[in-house]
Structure 1
Amino acid sequence: MKYFLYFSLVMLLASCATMNKEECEVADWRAVGYQHGAKGQSATAFENYQKDCSKHQIKADFSAFKQGHQQGIDEYCIYERGMELGRAGANYNNQCPSSRYERFEDGYFAGLIRYCTYDKGYELGARGAAVNANCPHEDFRDFSAGYADGYVRFEMAQEIRELEESLHGIDHQMQLELDLIADSEALIVSDKSSASQRTQALEDIKLHRAALTDLERQHRKVEKQLARLQAQFNDN
């Protein structure tokens, strides 16, 4: 039970960068450093621990923390971990310098080869996501080509949405014009309308019908553009 509580405390400390007085009193600094290193994290968290513990007049042991951290880093920076990061397209973990962890670097670039494909580039481009800088153009031309093709599809999808919104707006304006025409026609046949009101209503109807004709022309034009673009989009 005591071991379980101790282990839980070590895991808790490694998951955050702050400590209270009790945690500072019982901290195994080597174990805390190890947990950070085993996760590929830097040793900078120690600075926060040091500040927290100094508030309670408790000295944090950097030497023990550093030793544990290095042990954790040694266990983290292996070929398989590098492969895992590379296959995810993640950034290279600078806690694993290639001068010391050559196998980690080998794994990372082996993973990148599996990630930086045409299909992955196309997927990112089609979503409008930023290009992954971990797949440099000169080394992964298929990825770059896929991204460019996918981004063209993304732009087409955006243009389709804009045209659809434009059609919706035109439809709305057309309905407004029809409503205004109906109001003017009602005014003309109303017994309560004066001659001048009827005359003005006739003029208004002409204007609204002209506007409606123009809107119908715009609607047909946008419909053609939309149909053409949708056909291109579906062919890709």
Structure 2
Amino acid sequence: MNKKLYIFAFLNIFILLGCNTTAESVACDTSTNWFEVGEKTALNGKHVRTFEKFKNQCGDTLPSTAKNNYLDGYTKGIANYCTYKSGFDLAMNGLENPKVCPFEIRQEFEKGYQTAKVARNEKLKRAEHAERERARRLTQQANAPKKR
């Protein structure tokens, strides 16, 4: 692959990874909106069990309503995350399928993911072929007899 393609791929992955992170820690006080934390966790493609990390972090300071609020938010977020478009976008950017979508709503996400995975692989094959052809032409030009 040429240098521009490497840079493009690196920047895409860097940007997506930056957008795909969820804070692994939260403020363990009454100001934390656990519904929002759950929703953001789901929208970032993280597993519902991420709550256990928060629970361990907060210990006894975890409000009694935190888990239910988190689960309500996660439920809303995962329904918005597990779509054809989300699966498609994830695969087009070469990211792994996090396999967080519940069975009942997984089908559209998986369909988008598989469609984009095939399209991305084809696009990469075409780019590699174009690069090989460019290298071949350059080699031919370099080995061609010089005209005087």
Instruction: State the TM-score, normalized to the length of structure 1.
Output: 0.41
The residue that corresponds to 2:19 in the other structure is none
Aligned-pair RMSD on alpha carbons? 2.9
For residue 77 of structure 1, report the CA deviation from its aligned partner. 5.8
Rounded Cα–Cα distance in structure 1 between residues aligned with 2:38 and 2:135: 52
Moved more, 81-90 or 125-134: 81-90
Counterpart contact for 1:77–1:96, Cα < 8 Å: no
Residues 53-96 of structure 1: CA distance to partner in whole angstroms, max 9, x if unpaired? xxxxxxxxxxxxxxxx5xx1x55362233123222323433224
Rounded Cα–Cα distance in structure 1 between residues aligned with 2:86 and 2:116: 9
Structure-to-structure mapping, 1:115-130, within 5 angstroms: 115-130=81-96
Q: Which amino acid aligns with 1:40?
A: V
The residue that corresponds to 1:86 in the other structure is 42
1:172 pairs with 2:130 = no
For residue 136 of structure 1, report the CA deviation from its aligned partner. 5.1
Q: Which amino acid aligns with 1:170?
A: R
Moved more, 90-99 or 126-135: 90-99
Q: Which amino acid aligns with 1:78?
A: W
Residues 129-151 of structure 1: CA distance to partner in whole angstroms, max 9, x if unpaired? 11123235664111111111111
Tell me, which stretches of 5 or more residues in structure 2 are unaligned? 1-24, 57-63
Query: Aligned residues: percent identity?
Result: 22
For residue 166 of structure 1, report the CA deviation from its aligned partner. 1.1
Rounded Cα–Cα distance in structure 1 between residues aligned with 2:104 and 2:26: 29
Counterpart pick for 1:156 among 117, 122, 125: 122
For the residue of structure 2 that corresponds to 1:93, the secondary structure is: helix
Counterpart contact for 2:51–2:67, Cα < 8 Å: no
Counterpart contact for 1:137–1:144, Cα < 8 Å: no
The residue that corresponds to 2:77 in the other structure is 111
Q: Which amino acid aligns with 1:89?
A: G
Rounded Cα–Cα distance in structure 1 between residues aligned with 2:26 and 2:66: 15
Higher helix share: 1
Instruction: State the TM-score, normalized to the length of structure 2.
Output: 0.63
Relative contact order (C-alpha < 8 Å, sep 6+): which is higher?
2
- Aligned pair count reads 114
Residues 167-197 of structure 1: CA distance to partner in whole angstroms, max 9, x if unpaired? 1121022213313xx48xx8xxxxxxxxxxx
Counterpart contact for 2:82–2:105, Cα < 8 Å: no
Tell me, which stretches of 5 or more residues in structure 1 are unaligned? 1-38, 42-68, 187-236
Q: Which has the greater radius of gyration? A: 1
For residue 116 of structure 1, report the CA deviation from its aligned partner. 1.4
